[in-house]
Chain A
Amino acid sequence: MTISGVTGSLKWSYHEAGLLGAWTVTTAEGVRTLSATLIKSDAYRVSQRPLVFVASVAHAVRRWSVSELQIQGASLTAVLGPMEK
């Protein structure tokens, strides 16, 4: 299953750790993977844990915990945990 959007963010509690552009979440064999364009980030906050991926899906704000995170330039990939309530 794949869902996508045009903007999202990485949060460290109430702080924005990163602003994301186009993103896609792909679920395959139970693993949920986020691929996104990183527009800007706070170097300190993005190094902190726990991080949460926040995005609007079908007019509702959704949040997923970030289990693993990799950033290479403007390319961000992450393994996500379950969607949070």
Chain B
Amino acid sequence: MGRDRIVEPEITRLQISDGDYIDVKVRLNHGEHDDYLARISPYQTPGEPMKMDRRHIRTSMVLAYLVGWSLTHKDKPIPYSPDMPENARLDVLNSLDRDTFVEIFTAIDKHDDKSIAEAAARKNGKGGATPSPAISPSPVVVTGDTSGSESLTETSSASSSSN
């Protein structure tokens, strides 16, 4: 029996600083990945190096993965969900302070690296980590080199319908 080739819409939680967290997609499916590539490089000439729009490189990855967070402003939750139009989500991201955005991007970038490594392991028949167990009784600390100073903690949740 072959491996499962559909990406289930599962969400995992990444802890960031000061007790805040972000909820991200465990994996991007083909369409989401294509959307991500199209944002950073809408047009590509075959045979030529890909030209990327630097304004969108980091933001596009965050847009692709992020589905929610615990961030607040003046003690009120900052709205962010896939139910919002993409332009509205982009406006919210662009309103964040730079340190917060970098922290979110760094967490998602590490998550993306981990997701790619797991996908490669699955493809090679090495199994890889389970993408998202239904319930994770205890947080799993993400290990490896970090480009920032934050200690990232990843927990998993079941496929969520609350976003």
Q: Which of A9, A14, A84 contacts B67 (CB 8 A)?
A: A14
Q: How many A-B residue pairs have CB under 8 A?
A: 31
B-side interface residues, number (CB < 8 Å)? 13
List chain B residues, Cβ under 8 A from A82. Answer: none
Does B11 sit at the interface, judged by CB under 8 A?
Answer: yes
| Contacts known (A63-B161, A63-B162); A12 close to B83, Cβ less than 8 A | no
| Least distance between A59 CB and chain B CB atoms (Å) | 13
Q: Would you give the shortest CB distance from B33 to chain A, in whole angstroms? A: 14
Extra 12 A-B pairs, beta carbons < 8 Å, given A13-B11, A14-B160, A63-B161 = A9-B83, A11-B161, A13-B9, A13-B10, A14-B9, A14-B67, A15-B9, A50-B161, A52-B161, A61-B83, A84-B161, A84-B162
B82 within 8 A of partner (CB): yes
| Chain A residues with a Cβ under 8 A of chain B | 9, 11-16, 50, 52, 54, 61, 63, 65, 84
Please report the C-alpha to C-alpha distance between residue A63 and residue B162 in the assembled complex, in whole angstroms: 8
Residues of chain A within 8 A of B11, CB atoms compared: 13-14
How many angstroms from the CA of A71 to the CA of B9 in the assembled complex? 23
